C-alpha cells in the first residue's frame, strides 16, 4: 500500500551537505527559468504579472514541502491558461480564487480516497486532444502582441480573437514585429549554443535593451500593467452558494488538469532519477498548494514538466530544490520586479509561442490520426475542436462522455454468445487439436444446450446474452461463463428472466466456470440460491456431468 507521507520526510533521513549544495544551485537555476515563464503565463491567463510569481512562490513551496515526488517543481503552467482566462473574464479574480480553492479541496479528497492511480483512466485521446487545443488557443491569443496589432475590442473567445486579428491585420506595428522576431529567433537558437542559461532570460534581456536603447514604439509590461513588488499577502476569498454552484464545473476541470499534469510530470521525473513517486500524497500536496495559492493571490498551479526536468538536469534530487526555487523567486519579486516593467510584450508573445509549440504534442496528434480506430479519432478531433471553439470544460465533459459511450459500444460489439448442442457425428476438425477446453471436443448430452458467453455482461450487451432458445425438447441449458470477467445489475436482471423462463418450461439452468466478480454479485443478490448450489459448477466437464445425471432422472 502506498504511503500517504511527504517525500521530504523520507529523503531527509539520508540528506548530506553535498546534496544540499546541489539542491540550492538547481533551485536557483530553476527560479531563473521560471521567472519569465510565470510572468508570461500570468499575462496569457488575463491576470497581472505578479500573480504568476505568487503562484510559483506559494504553491511551489507548499507542493515541494508536502509532495510525493523528490524533484517536482510546481507553478503556473500553460494547461491552465484558457480556463483561467475564461473564469477571470466571466467571474473576475474573486471567482478565480473560489474556483482554485474548490479545485484544491477536490484534489485533497482525491488523494485521501487513493484516486492517484485512477487518473490514468482518462483516455490518451482526450489528453492529447485538449493539449493541442490549449496550445492553439495560446498561440492565437498571442498574435496581437507579437504583431503589435491595434484592436479596440477585447474579444474573449479564441475564434473571436483570431477574427479580430485578421480584421486588424493592417495595423501591424513593424517595430513590435521585429522585436518579437528577434526574441523568437533567440528562443530557437540559444538552446543549441548554451543549455545552462535559459533562452527566455536572454530573449527578455536583449529585447528590453533594444526597446530601451532605440526608444522603440513597442508596448511593454510596464506600459500596460501596474507592476507590484509587494510580497504575497494572505486573504481568504469571499464565497457564496451561487458562486460555488456556478464554478463547480471549472473547479472540477482545474482539479483534473492539475492531477493529470502533476502525476505525468512525476512519472517523467521518476524515469530520470530512478525513483518512485507517491501519487496520492502528490494529489494532496497539489490540493494544498492550490488552496494556499488562492489565499495569497495566485492562480491554479500544478507540476511543470519542463521545470522539473531542468531541476533534475542541474542536480536537484530532493524537495529542498523546489523550496529554494520558491524562495529565490520571492527575493527576485521584492528586489527586481520593477525591471519586469521593461519586458516587451512581443517577447512575452514569443515565449508563449514556444510554450505552445513545446506542449502541443502535434506529432502524437498526427500519429494517433494515422493509427487509431475511427471511434478514437472522433474523440480526439472533437476534444481538440471543442477546446478551441468553446472551452476546456466543455471539451473534457463531452470528450469523456463520447469516449465512454464509444467504449461501451465497442465492448458490446465484441461480446458474443455461441450455442452448442448434442451432435451425432463425433468427428472433430484438425484446427481443434490440442484445445482441450473447446466445447466441440466435449460430449454434450441429448436435450442439452450449451451457451459459451464471451465478453463483459453489462447493460450495453445484456440483450445479446439472453437470446436463448427454449424449445420443448430442451431439458438443460448450460451457460458457460469462463470468458465473462464482469457483469452489472442489468445482466443479472436478464439472467433472472432467463431463470424464470427455464423454470416455467421445466428446464434446469446450469452455470459453468463463473468468475469471481459475477459470482460475488450473484451471491449478494441471492441468485445462486435460486439457481441452486448444485447447478453452479466449477468447469464445463462438471456441468456436462450434471446435465447427464439430470437426463437420466428425466428419462
Q: Are residues 211 and 280 in the same domain?
A: yes
> Cα–Cα distance between 84 and 247 in angstroms, integer?
12
- Domain containing residue 78: 21-359+367-404
Give the pLDDT confidence score for residue 427 in this predicted structure. 47
Domain assignment present for residue 12? The answer is no
- Contact criterion met (CB below 8 Å) for 163 and 366: no
For residue 477, which phi and psi values (nearest 5 degrees)?
Answer: -120, 125
Domain assignment present for residue 398? The answer is yes
Q: Are residues 473 and 379 in the same domain?
A: no
Identify the burial level of 254 via C-beta atoms within 10 angstroms of its C-beta, where 0-12 means exposed, 13-18 middle and 19 or more buried. Answer: buried
Closest CA to 383 of 374, 373, 393: 393
Quote the cell numbers at residue 101: 480553492
pLDDT tens per residue, range 48-103: 999 999 999 999 999 999 999 999 999 999 999 999 999 999 999 999 999 999 99
Scan for cell 476546456, then name that residue: 392
Region 105-120: mean pLDDT is: 89
Give the pLDDT confidence score for residue 1 in this predicted structure. 59
421: pLDDT strictly greater than 70: no
> Cα–Cα distance between 107 and 305 in angstroms, integer?
19
Q: Are residues 461 and 380 in the same domain?
A: no
> Cα–Cα distance between 308 and 74 in angstroms, integer?
8
CA distances, 326 to each of 140, 323, 334 (Å): 30, 5, 13
Confidence class for position 432, pLDDT limits 50, 70, 90: very low
Identify the burial level of 307 via C-beta atoms within 10 angstroms of its C-beta, where 0-12 means exposed, 13-18 middle and 19 or more buried. Answer: buried
Give the pLDDT confidence score for residue 555 in this predicted structure. 53
Count of other CB atoms within 10 angstroms of residue 536: 22
Q: Are residues 502 and 378 in the same domain?
A: no
Task: Give the count of domains, the chain.
Answer: 2
Domain assignment present for residue 546? The answer is yes
Which CATH number does the domain housing residue 469 bear? 3.30.750.24
Between 463 and 358, the more confident residue is: 358
Closest CA to 5 of 192, 412, 281, 322: 281
Quote the cell numbers at residue 67: 509532495
> Cα–Cα distance between 494 and 460 in angstroms, integer?
12
Domain assignment present for residue 312? The answer is yes
Domain assignment present for residue 2? The answer is no
Between 345 and 440, the more confident residue is: 345
pLDDT tens per residue, range 360-388: 989 999 999 999 888 899 999 999 999 99
Q: What percent of the chain has pLDDT over 90?
A: 70
Q: Are residues 339 and 420 in the same domain?
A: no
Chain centroid to CA 166: how far? 34
Give the pLDDT confidence score for residue 426 in this predicted structure. 46
Q: Are residues 396 and 513 in the same domain?
A: no
431-460 burial, b at 16+ Cβ within 10 Å, e below that, comes to: eeeeeeebbeeeebbebbbbbbbbbbbbeb
Q: Are residues 155 and 272 in the same domain?
A: yes
Q: Are residues 423 and 382 in the same domain?
A: no
Q: Are residues 110 and 251 in the same domain?
A: yes
Give the pLDDT confidence score for residue 551 in this predicted structure. 77
- Contact criterion met (CB below 8 Å) for 73 and 326: no
> Cα–Cα distance between 20 and 214 in angstroms, integer?
44
Q: Are residues 324 and 422 in the same domain?
A: no
Confidence class for position 438, pLDDT limits 50, 70, 90: low
Residue 345: CA count within 13 A, CB half-sphere: 24
Q: Are residues 350 and 473 in the same domain?
A: no
Scan for cell 480526439, then name that residue: 380
Region 447-466: mean pLDDT is: 77
Domain assignment present for residue 290? The answer is yes
Give the pLDDT confidence score for residue 553 in this predicted structure. 66
Confidence class for position 35, pLDDT limits 50, 70, 90: very high
Quote the cell numbers at residue 256: 483534473
Quote the cell numbers at residue 436: 482441450
Give the pLDDT confidence score for residue 554 in this predicted structure. 59
HEC-encoded secondary structure of 116-182: CCHHHHCCHHHHHHHHHHHHHHHHHHHHHHHHCCCCCCCCCCHHHHHHHHHHCHHHCCHHHHHHHHH
Between 153 and 40, the more confident residue is: 40
Domain assignment present for residue 65? The answer is yes
Domain assignment present for residue 16? The answer is no
Q: What is the largest CA-CA distance in the chain?
A: 107
Closest CA to 36 of 200, 176, 184, 151: 200
114: left (phi over 0), alpha (psi -120 to 50) or beta: left
413: pLDDT strictly greater than 80: no
> Cα–Cα distance between 24 and 17 in angstroms, integer?
11
Residues β-bridged to residue 512: 480, 537
Q: Are residues 477 and 343 in the same domain?
A: no
Confidence class for position 123, pLDDT limits 50, 70, 90: confident
Give the pLDDT confidence score for residue 400 in this predicted structure. 87
Where among 404, 430, 461 does a domain terminate?
Answer: 404
Amino acid at each position: 500500500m502506498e504511503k500517504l507521507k511527504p517525500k521530504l520526510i523520507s529523503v531527509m533521513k539520508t540528506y548530506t551537505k553535498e546534496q544540499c549544495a546541489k539542491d540550492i544551485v538547481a533551485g536557483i537555476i530553476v527560479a531563473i527559468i521560471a521567472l519569465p515563464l510565470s510572468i508570461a503565463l500570468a499575462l496569457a491567463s488575463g491576470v497581472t504579472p505578479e500573480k504568476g510569481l505568487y503562484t510559483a512562490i506559494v504553491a511551489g513551496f507548499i507542493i515541494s514541502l508536502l509532495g510525493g515526488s523528490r524533484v517536482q517543481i510546481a507553478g503556473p503552467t500553460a494547461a491552465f491558461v484558457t480556463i483561467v482566462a475564461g473564469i477571470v473574464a466571466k467571474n473576475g479574480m474573486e471567482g478565480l480564487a473560489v474556483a482554485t480553492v474548490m479545485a484544491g479541496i477536490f484534489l485533497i479528497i482525491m488523494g485521501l480516497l487513493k484516486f492517484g492511480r485512477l487518473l490514468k483512466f482518462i483516455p490518451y485521446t482526450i489528453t492529447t486532444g485538449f493539449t493541442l487545443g490549449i496550445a492553439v488557443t495560446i498561440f492565437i491569443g498571442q498574435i496581437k502582441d507579437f504583431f503589435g496589432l491595434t484592436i479596440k475590442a477585447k474579444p474573449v473567445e479564441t475564434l473571436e480573437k483570431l477574427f479580430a486579428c485578421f480584421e486588424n491585420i493592417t495595423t501591424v506595428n513593424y517595430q513590435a514585429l521585429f522585436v518579437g522576431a528577434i526574441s523568437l529567433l533567440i528562443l530557437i537558437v540559444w538552446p543549441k549554443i548554451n543549455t545552462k542559461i535559459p533562452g527566455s532570460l536572454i530573449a527578455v534581456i536583449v529585447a528590453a535593451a533594444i526597446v530601451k536603447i532605440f526608444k522603440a514604439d513597442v508596448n511593454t509590461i510596464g506600459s500596460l500593467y501596474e507592476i507590484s513588488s509587494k510580497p504575497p499577502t494572505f486573504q481568504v476569498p469571499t464565497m457564496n452558494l451561487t458562486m460555488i454552484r456556478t464554478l463547480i464545473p471549472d473547479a472540477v476541470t482545474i482539479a483534473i488538469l492539475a492531477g493529470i499534469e502533476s502525476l505525468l510530470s512525476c512519472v517523467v521525473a521518476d524515469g530520470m532519477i530512478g525513483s518512485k513517486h507517491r501519487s496520492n500524497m502528490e494529489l494532496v500536496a497539489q490540493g494544498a498548494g492550490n488552496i494556499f495559492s488562492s489565499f495569497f493571490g495566485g492562480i491554479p498551479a500544478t507540476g511543470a514538466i519542463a521545470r522539473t526536468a531542468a531541476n533534475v538536469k542541474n542536480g536537484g534530487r530532493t524537495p529542498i530544490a523546489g523550496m529554494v526555487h520558491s524562495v529565490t523567486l520571492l527575493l527576485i519579486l521584492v528586489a527586481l520586479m520593477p525591471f519586469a516593467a521593461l519586458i516587451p510584450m512581443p517577447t512575452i508573445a514569443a515565449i508563449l509561442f514556444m510554450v505552445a509549440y513545446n506542449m502541443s504534442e502535434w506529432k502524437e496528434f498526427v500519429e494517433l490520426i494515422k493509427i487509431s480506430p475511427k471511434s478514437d479519432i472522433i474523440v480526439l478531433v472533437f476534444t481538440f475542436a471543442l477546446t478551441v471553439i468553446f472551452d476546456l470544460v466543455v471539451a473534457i465533459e463531452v470528450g469523456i462522455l463520447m469516449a465512454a459511450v464509444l467504449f461501451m459500444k465497442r465492448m458490446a460489439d465484441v461480446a458474443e454468445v455461441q450455442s452448442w448442442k448434442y451432435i451425432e457425428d463425433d468427428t472433430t476438425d484438425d484446427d481443434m487439436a490440442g484445445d482441450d477446453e473447446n466445447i466441440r471436443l466435449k460430449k454434450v448430452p441429448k436435450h442439452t444446450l450449451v451457451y459459451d458467453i464471451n465478453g463483459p455482461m453489462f447493460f450495453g450487451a445484456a440483450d445479446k446474452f439472453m437470446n436463448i432458445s427454449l424449445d420443448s425438447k430442451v431439458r438443460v441449458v448450460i451457460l458457460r461463463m469462463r470468458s465473462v470477467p464482469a457483469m452489472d445489475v442489468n445482466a443479472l436482471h436478464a439472467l433472472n428472466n432467463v431463470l424464470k423462463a427455464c423454470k416455467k418450461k421445466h428446464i434446469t439452468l446450469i452455470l459453468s466456470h463463473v468468475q469471481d466478480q459475477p459470482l460475488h454479485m450473484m451471491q449478494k443478490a441471492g441468485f445462486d440460491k435460486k439457481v441452486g448450489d448444485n447447478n453452479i459448477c466449477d468447469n464445463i466437464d462438471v456441468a456436462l456431468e450434471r446435465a447427464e445425471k439430470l437426463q437420466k432422472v428425466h428419462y
